[in-house]
Structure 1
Amino acid sequence: MSPTSSSSPTSSSLSNTRPLTAASSSSAPSASLVRPTATPDTDVTDPSNSSERGAKEPTLLSTLSANDHESLLCLCVAEADATAASAGAGLSARTPSSSSSLASGRVYAGSQGGSIHVWSLASLSLIARLSSHTGAVLALELVKENGWLISASGDGTIRVWHTPTLSPLFLIHPPHDNVGDIFSLVYVPDRFISDDPPDTTSHEDCGQEYEQRQAREGAKSIWEHLGKPTAFKNAPGRGPSKERNIPDKSARDGDPRGGGRLFAGCQDTSIQWIDLQTLSSSTQAVSSDFPTSRTPTPALPPYLSSSFPSPGLVSSSPPIHRAPNKFFDNCDLKSRAIPLLGSPGHTTPISSTPRAITSSSSLTDLHRSSLAGPMKHSVTAGASGAFASNGGDGSIDLQISEDCIATYAHYGYVYCLTSSRSNDSPIIISGSGDSLIRLWSPHRSSLSLIHTLHPPPSAPPASEAILSLTTHPTLPTLFAGHQGGLITIWDLDTFQSLRILTPHPYDVLSMVCLERGELYAGDSGGGVTRCDKAFTIVQRWQAAGDAHGSQKEGAVLGMALTGGENRCSGTDIVAGRKTLLTGGNDRLMKVRRSSIASQCSQLRKRFLSRRFQVWDLVEPPELTKEQEAAQSDKGFQGELFHLLSRLVAYKSIASLPKLHAEECRQTALYLKRVLRSFGASTVQVIPNDVEGKNPFVFAHFLANAPPKVDSTGAPIPKRKRVLFYGHYDVVAADEEKEGWTHDPWKLTGKDGWLYGRGVTDNKGPILAIASAASSLQLSQSLPVDVIMILEGEEETGSAGFQEVIRKHRSMIGDIDVILVSNSYWIGEDIPCVTFGLRGVIHASLKALVDMVQILSTLTSSTGQILIPNFNASVRPLVPAEIALYDRIIDRCSPSLLTEGSHELDPKKSLIDRWRQPALSLHAITTSSPSKALIPSSAESKLSIRIVPDQSLEQVIQSLKRHLQDAFARLRTHNRLQIEINHTSTFWLASPHSPANTLLAACIHRAWGIEPLFIREGGSIPSLPFLEAEFDADAVHFPMATGQANAHLGDERIRFEHLEKGRSIVSEWLRRLDA
């Protein structure tokens, strides 16, 4: 049996669904009690003093936003499905119909507005929003073996979705319209449904026992208490049991792929169920009473139809129009929250003798009811389902049989359901606002009550409604969360109370339990309490609200676990770990990870209704080389995520040496430790020969794949060698002027992006490429030597770079291919390979008032550069290059290509930016900013971008000669001083080189899209030097999109792009020696 986590009473506000006598959730937390039932005077333990236990406040790492403004009330996680992976799915993984999103795992979250949001765990991005329910989505249940997602709503209906396509399958109606909200769901596979017991009790007997109990206690019935004494009594299905037509075993077993029974806990105190069998074409029943032209056959469910269409981002079903209900539609929310049947916790228990609530297997045919219009064709949905009409969206309408109801299953709302085993038999467990827990045995045609668990005598008097349930994954242990902060722990074999915990006064709304017995409980105060396997409270942290818990109205409404066989189906983002997801009505839904396999950093992730946050709860210890190398392949949602957060925190600003020289040195030392832990055989920090400049980091990953052999079978001793060039220095970040919305020195994730200075230029790509080499080496499949050279002065002109490379030429050795990753895509959706960069000349002029006249001679009024013979050596356009531009224009929108340019022709805009020279004036400054003083000097800064085949030296000489001639014509007594501050020649590679061709093939395989070959207008000074120094071709592989904002505010890169970049480089290195 696959037990599932319970759903808490997650409507728009908990106070609208629970008794008004509830303790206020806004009261301050008090000291917690941890005590056995038999010894209520156990010492008080204060979990808030977490520092004494070595606990640490969570560190926010990521947020993910939904695309509406509704609170998310419930959630479940789809486990990663490796069989759904397909090569080249790539960017299509962002669409809901892609199998790759199933392969990487999904998170489903139901919202107050009636939608279900679907996120991919691989890209951390929203891939779909399912809009169908007309009320809040209060419960979700995942049935992975059938590809079903089941949702229950405040509109009183249940919907079943096909997870591979996110398409609607079934719309399930209750047998009558006075059920109210459906709070909870649990699905039980058919193999766990027992045969009928020999003696059962009818619905009428259950109702009589209920009324007899109320008469004995002298309490009002719920109907009298709420002023509607006949609202349910005369409703269909409340009378004597009807004759049942139970199918034989072969009919019950259904399709070999297996069906099961869905149980729903309702606001009208009942538990209802319906059998959902997987269908085959032979079960389709078509009426012959009407012509085919008038009654088209309903579409088969998606898993039966190979041509079922893939939906768009939003998949909608027709709204349900229920007839007005005198009871639920006439009383306001406050009236619906009146206490049920007196004070919970003090009711007299009903007889503990097992009894059965019987059901009928007869099917209710919707098209034979009072619906207007001709009869429609139907499909049989199971032993207790319905004949149904085909909806406009392909879904099938089903209705629960009137006899498939456990009437008066509780004396209050059935807030939560879960499943487990008791004495090796499968059971259903229900919790209610009446403070009772009931254990049920599911039978073919009935639901038998096994036992009722009452609040223990030692429990506080205020122990009220049962709001959440969960069970131990392997032991017969039940955890129940109560209103008022109580957690009771039960033995499901002996039905004895094991322990009572009262960690706080807040309502316990959700709980999950790890396989090792560690319990997490979310509460209405916005906190999560953690208990160890001995039921000792270890820690409580603020989860709902903002990162500091200042939002007092937050509540943790739902929880789920991922990673392995546990309470919930789910995907473990990092192998070998558990992930805890929590959702709140303060528009916060969070995910946290607990390390199971090792003592490495315990990354926790948080999903929010409008934000998805990632938290690091525990500072990781220093790891050995073997430990951290084993973590290096766990991706940017795992250990690399944590490493990048620490790397971003270093303010390695090379342009401000007086303030940050030591931090730059610490950055180099940190990278040394990381690369050594990744498995590099040699790692060194090399000092810069230029005084006051930052050091270099050198690392060498030795090839360890089996060597290639020649025609005689002898191994080829020489291995190819790849040199990766990167830089760890970053530009300064002015939060106010640049408009940062996040702390630039704190890694922050939002909507699938990682924000922080250096995440894209160049710290993120450095870790991605180092991890790619490390993962290949760890698997004994690295076929080439990988040498990494990381400098700390790239943003200031690479001072000392050439000297250090030449000085350590023998240590670096011969190089076959140079790899760089320091650029961006042209847009957001098409991967690119950069094959050309312009060169640059930075110059400064010093003069007085003559400055303006001199500068005016550099360009014409139309922007043409007037330096003599400046354009004479520019390489002309050839047809092959024009074809590259045409391919770009064909695949990109014109507005994208002309963005930020006055040129409206997309092709001319690209040519001007990428392969034509340019002159820019950056600043003019004077020696005195005062208006009362005449400055003694003035200085201007300008730059010239050069392109193939301009000579750097010739352009510099032409510039100097032109400026000196212009100055001489002024006949002034002032002096002109020209300084060339920095130079870099252009770089141009062949798109058809073997290394570029292989890289394009690897990108195509990863993203499923052929990349574009592009050029850029910027410069990387070290790249042409490295090509010339080592006589090797260079490959420039951009990972970031065109909206990366490098050197600007809110610099960012997508999680998915770092992950894909890592896998692309790994594949490229693996195939480079083929």
Structure 2
Amino acid sequence: MSSSDPALLVLTDSQDIDEQHGARVEVANGLASPSLHSNGDNRYKPSLFHRMRHDKSVLCMAVSKDRIYAGAHRGEILVYRLDTFEREAVLVGHSSSVLGLALSSDYTLLFSSSGDRTVNVWDTSTLTLLYSIYSTYDTGDVFCVTYSADLQVVYLGAQNTSIQWYDLKEKESRPRPKPSAHPSFRQDRFFDSSGPGGVRTPRQCSSERPRDTKGSLSLEIDKHYIRQYAHFGYVYCMLLAAGSIFGYRGEEVLISGGGDGAIKLWRLDADNSGALRSLGQLDDGREEGHSVLTIALDGMFLYSGRLGGEINVWDLETRQLVRNLKTTIGDVLTLTIGGGYLFSAGMDGVVEKFNSQYEPVAHFKSHAGLVLSSAFTIHKGKAMYVTGGNDSTVSVWDVSDCHRTQATGLRTTNEQLFDSLRAFVSYRTVSSDARYKGDCRRGASWLRALFRNFGAATHMLNADDGYNPIILAKFRGNAATAAQRKKILFYGHYDVIAAENEKGKWLMDPFSLEGIDGHLYGRGVSDNKGPIMAAIYAVAELVSEKALEADIVFLIEGEEECGSRGFSKTIQDNKSLVGDIDWILLANSYWLDDHVPCLTYGLRGVIHASVQIESNHPDLHSGVDGSSRLDEPLKDLVLLLSKLTGEKGSVLIPGFYDPIMAVTRDERALYDEITKVLLERNPDLGDSEELADSLMRRWRDPSLTFHGFKTSGPNNSTIIPHLARSALSLRLVPNQESHVIVKSLIEYLHKEFSKLETKNTLTITIDHQAEPWLGDVHNAIFKTLEAAIMEVWGPIYGRRRSSLVTRPAAPSSLTSPPSRPVTSTGPTTSNTLAHGSVTPPDSPVILSPTGTSAQAPMRARKPLYIREGGSIPTIRFLEKEFGAPAAHLPIGQASDSAHLDNERLRLLNLYKGRDIFKKVFRDLPRK
């Protein structure tokens, strides 16, 4: 039950200046979200921007310049960042539900009231509890709280019908209350009363206080600072208004609403520690009315929400009832004013929106249960409406469809980056399925149009055999002649792995980007559409700032998930169009865990082959035709494949290991740093030597794998097939040339096959091959990337220490939150160390902007230099073709689930990735 901030836009104006942000806002036509359950004029329907999940109801809310504070059932205050929507902290200072939140006018103090009969005062810069305020009387639940910064007085509205206050200027002069005076030690007149026969069950009073109350100062309200029976009912809501409205210039007036249906006005006595002096009440002519549950102030107009769906509009200058609105949402539990509109919400999770003429213009579903709290804010020019409900979620709605900031120049804000990525993900660019051929073309055309909008010269390079086209886009630098400008090539791919949600494994439609808990969910958002958008917007910002010195060339293909079919030939055919290249950059992988940025400097190559043995006879019956003298293709195939590997999986192809480089001292140092960092956070990973050896086996050792057998004939146990085939792959490491290994493999298999002296025939098919890649970690592009990562991400934290919050795992649905916050865990080695976070279980932390522990010691540290076991066919080809060194920047976290259900990318990583690209594109040409 939250009232809105009084310092918001005036409802009666269709255009306004937001003083806080200095931005001009205007009414504009918007588009409704396709998933919105709503009616009314499409221009006024908001779209869901992000949703944060919890495991308890969200009861109240306050919004500052950069944070959302949400009070929850059972005493928690959730703190979210407005730029990335990550949960920054969970504050536990109450032993019962948080019922009211308020911020000081300068946002330095947060006030929380609770069912535990206390009001807490928090320092928002450190997120620590300063004071805990309580009354000498039994107040019952404290429903609301507000603060006069001028008087430094805290006001609270209570269940026992009183309004009480505490003058913080007196906190040092007043005597300290005894610990036993705290409400948690008092007897409750109802729950601790005598039972039948006069027997009372002894109450177990625990000395344990809520976690974050340690070190705070307890303050007791003097009995003289209490206005008993301020209402003849619970005091549900309060706010402060400028006294000039009532003729008291330079003063503040407290407005309160209660369960008696009354709205009362109170003058604050500055000479008497803020004591209340009655100014009467607003009279609508009724002897009594429905309870006033929420109030909101907009200039001289006051809006009150009541039981039964009634909203009253009051003119405070004349104290007259101007309008009586009847909503369709049932009981009005929360009112918010912003952007020239009134938002009312309550029962059934529905929000109703009114314009300045008090006409309902939108009606939409915000929560699966009750909407209990709401707020409006403009963050970096983006208007947002925030709601909290008893479905344990906080929803952030984009209301810029009604009020849009007039921006100058290119629209390269975080919000525009998000909007572009949402549009990009909506194209089902699945290259492996012919049904989506049209979607791939439409996605490529959309991407080309985006490049054009930002000023790039573009070409659509069509590949042979009907493969998806390659987008070539060039941004020209500022230097006068092409010869003076360096050229950086960015490689990426717009095609994605197939995704379907028929079994409900995804949280939402895989091709409808949705923000949840600080992450963006959708197929391709991490692999590779998010990094592509980050790179494009980095260049666009440099162009708009006239700070782009190099030519940036984008090559975005549509067949990477199918082995980059047709890529090499198409680039060779159009090499002159691409031009000379000085450096190559790509971003198509992930960190080792969820916390430490990485740079990838090595990939294994791959050869996919099929080995087939066939006889000249048809399929036979083993009982009729079986003989020890019969040359059976499957038997020959098994004997032949057994010659490829030896003890412990060693590959027996002659000369296979000869080119492999030994581990150097410098390379070993990189592995030592990796294991040190991983073991700091995850001591359960074991011995550092074993961990390093495990990573080396996956990253720098070659391997041979058999993937299965296929035979002709019916699938039963009596058939002797006339044909047998097996698929195998070889993973190669740097210095192993794929064409050399292919030649050795074919020669070796034919040689061993001849030894079988069989009448069958052998066929070997090379289905795909890609070269391994090893970058030079000492060259200019890696050093520029390293410097950019350290600047953008800042200090990287040491080992986690116990503090304030546990990172939640993802529940199975938005309406089914986890039973408690838990820490996500995952495998213990390799890049997927990489399909799940390696954060230790049950490790509470307060999150820094990088998602690491703010309590751990900070130290500047370089990103981890890592290799990967997988392959990207194009890297080595591009290096050879253009004679330019390549570098690989992982943007995603280990838990991004690329290629899996619920693929995601952290919003913070998307924005930070854009910032890193911007610094690299700006600084690398100066090297």
Deviation at residue 670 of structure 1 after TM alignment: 1.3
Deviation at residue 151 of structure 1 after TM alignment: 0.8
Q: Give the corresponding residue for 2:330.
A: 506
Aligned partner (choices 440, 450, 453) of residue 279 of structure 2 = 450
Matched, 1:158 2:119: yes
Q: Deviations 1:687-707 (Å, cap 9, x if unpaired)?
A: 22x122001112122224xx5
Matched residue SS, 1:128: strand
Q: Given the superposition, is the C-alpha separation of residues 982 and 419 from structure 1 closer, same or farther in structure 2, using an over 3 Å criterion?
A: same
Aligned partner (choices 667, 683, 697) of residue 881 of structure 1 = 667
Q: Give the corresponding residue for 2:395.
A: 590
Q: Give the corresponding residue for 1:539.
A: 362
Matched, 1:125 2:86: yes
Structure 1: unaligned runs, 5 residues or longer: 7-47, 80-104, 194-259, 288-294, 299-316, 333-390, 546-553, 564-571, 601-625, 709-714
Q: Give the corresponding residue for 1:369.
A: none
Matched, 1:955 2:741: yes
Matched residue SS, 1:64: strand
Q: Give the corresponding residue for 1:827.
A: 593
The answer to whether the Cα contact below 8 Å between 1:50 and 1:538 also exists between their aligned partners in 2 is no
Q: Partners in 2 of 1:456 and 1:809 — Cα distance?
A: 83
The answer to whether the Cα contact below 8 Å between 2:102 and 2:146 also exists between their aligned partners in 1 is yes
Matched residue SS, 1:1005: helix
Q: Given the superposition, is the C-alpha separation of residues 1057 and 680 from structure 1 closer, same or farther in structure 2, using an over 3 Å criterion?
A: same
Structure 2: unaligned runs, 5 residues or longer: 7-35, 196-211, 614-632, 797-861
Q: Partners in 1 of 2:37 and 2:790 — Cα distance?
A: 53
Alignment of 1:61-76 (within 5 A): 62-66=50-54, 69-76=55-62
Q: Give the corresponding residue for 1:843.
A: 609
Matched residue SS, 1:592: strand
Deviation at residue 124 of structure 1 after TM alignment: 2.5
Q: Deviations 1:297-317 (Å, cap 9, x if unpaired)?
A: x9xxxxxxxxxxxxxxxxxx9
Matched residue SS, 2:589: coil
Q: Given the superposition, is the C-alpha separation of residues 669 and 462 from structure 1 closer, same or farther in structure 2, using an over 3 Å criterion?
A: farther
Q: Given the superposition, is the C-alpha separation of residues 896 and 981 from structure 1 closer, same or farther in structure 2, using an over 3 Å criterion?
A: farther
Matched residue SS, 1:761: helix
The answer to whether the Cα contact below 8 Å between 1:898 and 1:905 also exists between their aligned partners in 2 is no
Alignment of 1:60-209 (within 5 A): 60=48, 62-66=50-54, 69-79=55-65, 105-143=66-104, 145=106, 147-176=108-137, 178-190=138-150
Q: Partners in 2 of 1:990 and 1:897 — Cα distance?
A: 31
Give the AA of the match of 1:562. Answer: T
Q: Partners in 1 of 2:422 and 2:455 — Cα distance?
A: 21
Deviation at residue 743 of structure 1 after TM alignment: 3.4
Matched, 1:562 2:377: yes
Q: Given the superposition, is the C-alpha separation of residues 319 and 449 from structure 1 closer, same or farther in structure 2, using an over 3 Å criterion?
A: closer
Matched residue SS, 1:145: coil
Q: Partners in 2 of 1:130 and 1:319 — Cα distance?
A: 20
Q: Deviations 1:534-572 (Å, cap 9, x if unpaired)?
A: 111111111120xxxxxxxx2111111222xxxxxxxx1
Matched residue SS, 2:278: strand
Q: Given the superposition, is the C-alpha separation of residues 782 and 662 from structure 1 closer, same or farther in structure 2, using an over 3 Å criterion?
A: same
Q: Given the superposition, is the C-alpha separation of residues 318 and 824 from structure 1 closer, same or farther in structure 2, using an over 3 Å criterion?
A: farther
Give the AA of the match of 1:644. Answer: L
Aligned partner (choices 512, 518, 533) of residue 341 of structure 2 = 518
Q: Deviations 1:162-202 (Å, cap 9, x if unpaired)?
A: 111111111111132x2111111111222xx6xxxxxxxxx
Matched, 1:581 2:405: no
Q: Give the corresponding residue for 1:660.
A: 436
Q: Given the superposition, is the C-alpha separation of residues 1031 and 284 from structure 1 closer, same or farther in structure 2, using an over 3 Å criterion?
A: farther
Give the AA of the match of 1:915. Answer: R
Alignment of 1:784-799 (within 5 A): 784-799=550-565
Matched, 1:429 2:255: yes
Q: Give the corresponding residue for 1:917.
A: 702
Q: Partners in 2 of 1:507 and 1:591 — Cα distance?
A: 22
Q: Partners in 2 of 1:128 and 1:967 — Cα distance?
A: 65
Give the AA of the match of 2:139. Answer: V
The answer to whether the Cα contact below 8 Å between 2:261 and 2:288 also exists between their aligned partners in 1 is no
Q: Given the superposition, is the C-alpha separation of residues 319 and 1069 from structure 1 closer, same or farther in structure 2, using an over 3 Å criterion?
A: farther
- After TM superposition, the structure 1 stretch with the greater mean CA deviation from structure 2, 751-760 or 535-544, is 751-760
Give the AA of the match of 2:791. Answer: R
Q: Partners in 1 of 2:352 and 2:192 — Cα distance?
A: 37
Alignment of 1:978-997 (within 5 A): 978-997=764-783
Aligned residues: 784
The answer to whether the Cα contact below 8 Å between 1:464 and 1:482 also exists between their aligned partners in 2 is yes
Aligned partner (choices 788, 791, 807) of residue 1002 of structure 1 = 788
The answer to whether the Cα contact below 8 Å between 2:237 and 2:294 also exists between their aligned partners in 1 is yes
Q: Partners in 1 of 2:683 and 2:47 — Cα distance?
A: 40
Give the AA of the match of 2:786. Answer: A
Alignment of 1:8-19 (within 5 A): none
Q: Give the corresponding residue for 1:214.
A: none
Q: Give the corresponding residue for 2:858.
A: none
Give the AA of the match of 1:589. Answer: V
Q: Partners in 1 of 2:437 and 2:284 — Cα distance?
A: 64
Q: Partners in 2 of 1:895 and 1:738 — Cα distance?
A: 34
Alignment of 1:611-650 (within 5 A): 630-632=410-412, 634-635=413-414, 638-650=415-427
Matched, 1:685 2:466: no
Q: Give the corresponding residue for 2:163.
A: 271
Matched residue SS, 2:917: helix
Deviation at residue 1054 of structure 1 after TM alignment: 1.2
Q: Partners in 1 of 2:4 and 2:759 — Cα distance?
A: 88
Q: Given the superposition, is the C-alpha separation of residues 992 and 277 from structure 1 closer, same or farther in structure 2, using an over 3 Å criterion?
A: farther
Q: Give the corresponding residue for 1:1013.
A: 865
Matched residue SS, 2:116: coil
Alignment of 1:197-236 (within 5 A): none
Q: Deviations 1:216-253 (Å, cap 9, x if unpaired)?
A: xxxxxxxxxxxxxxxxxxxxxxxxxxxxxxxxxxxxxx
Alignment of 1:691-730 (within 5 A): 691-704=465-478, 718-730=484-496
The answer to whether the Cα contact below 8 Å between 1:463 and 1:486 also exists between their aligned partners in 2 is no
Aligned partner (choices 353, 357, 367) of residue 530 of structure 1 = 353
Q: Partners in 2 of 1:810 and 1:797 — Cα distance?
A: 24
Q: Give the corresponding residue for 2:836.
A: none
Q: Partners in 2 of 1:965 and 1:725 — Cα distance?
A: 41
Deviation at residue 680 of structure 1 after TM alignment: 2.8
Q: Deviations 1:467-523 (Å, cap 9, x if unpaired)?
A: 010011xx3011110100001111111111111111226110101111x43100111
Deviation at residue 63 of structure 1 after TM alignment: 3.1
Give the AA of the match of 2:153. Answer: R
Q: Partners in 2 of 1:896 and 1:978 — Cα distance?
A: 46
Q: Partners in 1 of 2:650 and 2:681 — Cα distance?
A: 25
Q: Deviations 1:844-890 (Å, cap 9, x if unpaired)?
A: 12223122222221111411111111101111222111121112122
Matched residue SS, 2:660: coil
TM-score normalised over the length of structure 1: 0.69
Deviation at residue 977 of structure 1 after TM alignment: 1.1
Q: Partners in 1 of 2:649 and 2:504 — Cα distance?
A: 28
Q: Given the superposition, is the C-alpha separation of residues 739 and 418 from structure 1 closer, same or farther in structure 2, using an over 3 Å criterion?
A: closer
Matched residue SS, 2:466: coil
Q: Deviations 1:586-628 (Å, cap 9, x if unpaired)?
A: 323222122189659xxxxxxxxxxxxxxxxxxxxxxxxx989
Deviation at residue 761 of structure 1 after TM alignment: 1.0
Deviation at residue 65 of structure 1 after TM alignment: 2.7
Q: Partners in 1 of 2:213 and 2:517 — Cα distance?
A: 33
Matched, 1:815 2:707: no
Q: Give the corresponding residue for 2:208.
A: none
